[in-house]
Amino acid sequence: MSPTVCVRDLAKVFYDESRGEVRAVDGIDFACCPGEIFGLLGANGAGKTTTLRMLATILKPTSGTATLMGHDVAGDPEAVRRNLGFSSSTTALYPRLTARETIEFFARINGCPKELVRDRVEGLIARFGIGEYANARVDKLSQGMKQKVSIARTVVHDPPVLIFDEPTVGLDVLSAIEMQKVIAEFRAEGKTIIFSTHTMSEAEKLCDRIAIIHRGKIHACDTLANLRAATGQHYLEHIFVHYVERAGAPGGQEIRRDADPGVLGGPA
């Protein structure tokens, strides 16, 4: 199966008055295929969000390339965005629109054919159980309700690639479980899902492959089983610490793509 998302040597450098040059993302490589959940696991500030923002064409890469459904993020950003559903770490919805209006707006702006908009919107309202509050303004909704609306608006134009940036942040346990279930359903529908988190259990439960990202570099990228085998650790938490400590140790380096085929390859 050919990858839908290919990232090669992608880097993003920011310039900060106080810190000078900050390499938020430092030459990362990975690829994802349809029907796969690819997890970016890292601590806060590791470079997860910057990576996802570059894939969503919100930020321009400083160097390297990334393609989504064959479209280059720098060369053809609008085509990339047409094939993408991006859910940021905040629900970030328009408070003065109703849930239904919100979903409908994102369907239209993302180019969903006019004749399909109504069916798509109503279908998602039914699927996510939004019906009871579909006509309520977003600012009146609870965080869990907002998150459902946010997911509905992310997928309403039926994009082949979905990016979720820490989707369960701020959710209660039940809402978080429901969110994980929904993401798994999207995988079953054959969508490519890139998912960032710093919650180990979530990554363990959902991800087909996990990339451990630390200080802008990917230090490991493989299935959970292979990561366990490579490190001799069972829990992902310990696996994560293993790689982070190795990266911080003298002479410690990220896993090179020539040293680990899993970094660039599709699902193992």
Partner 1 sequence: MTGASSATGGGGRLDWRQVGILYRREIRAALREKTVVINSILMPIFLYPFIMWAALTGILFVQGQTEGFVSRVAVREWPKGHPILRRRLERDEQIQLVEWQRAGGDPERQIKDGKLDALVEFLPASGTNAVLAGNFQARITFNQSKERSASADKRLTSALQQYREDWLKREVRAYGIGPADWQVFSVTERNVASGKQMGTFLMGLLLPILFVVMVAMGCFYPAVDATAGERERNTWETLMSTAASRVSIVTAKYLYVASLGGLAGILNLAAMAATIEPIFAPLLAEAGGTLEFAMPLAALPLMALAALLLAGFVAAGMMIFASFARTFKEGQAMITPFYIVILLPVMFLQVPGLKFTLLLALLPIVNVTMMVRTAISGTFHWVPIIVTLTVSVALIAVCIRLAAFILQFEDVVLGSYSGSFNQFFQERVFGRTRPRKRVPHIIG
As measured in angstroms, the least distance from the Cβ of 184 to partner 1 is: 23
Nearest approach, Cβ of residue 97 and partner 1 (Å): 6
The residue from 21, 44, 188, 258 that contacts partner 1 (CB under 8 A) is 21
60 is a site residue for partner 1 (CB under 8 A): yes
Instruction: Give the x/- contact pattern for partner 1 in 121-160, rule: CB under 8 A.
Output: ----------------x-------------------x---
Nearer to partner 1, 30 or 164 (CB): 164
Q: In Å, how far from its chain's centre is CA 23?
A: 20
Of the candidates 152, 202, 225, which has an alpha carbon nearest to the alpha carbon of residue 40? 202
Stretch that binds partner 1, among 78-86, 193-201, 212-220, 229-237 (CB under 8 A): 78-86
Closest-CA residue to 60 (of 122, 134, 10, 7): 10
Name the residue with tokens 């970016």: 40
Residues sharing a CB contact under 8 Å with residue 157, sequence separation 6 or more, in sequence order: 82, 85, 106, 107, 110, 111, 112, 120
Alpha helices in the chain (DSSP H): 48-55, 77-82, 99-109, 114-127, 143-155, 173-188, 200-206, 224-231, 236-248
How many residues form the binding site for partner 1 (CB under 8 A)? 37
Interface residue list for partner 1 (CB under 8 A): 14-15, 17, 20-21, 53, 56-60, 62, 73-74, 77-78, 81-82, 84, 86, 88, 90, 92-97, 101, 105-106, 108-111, 137, 157
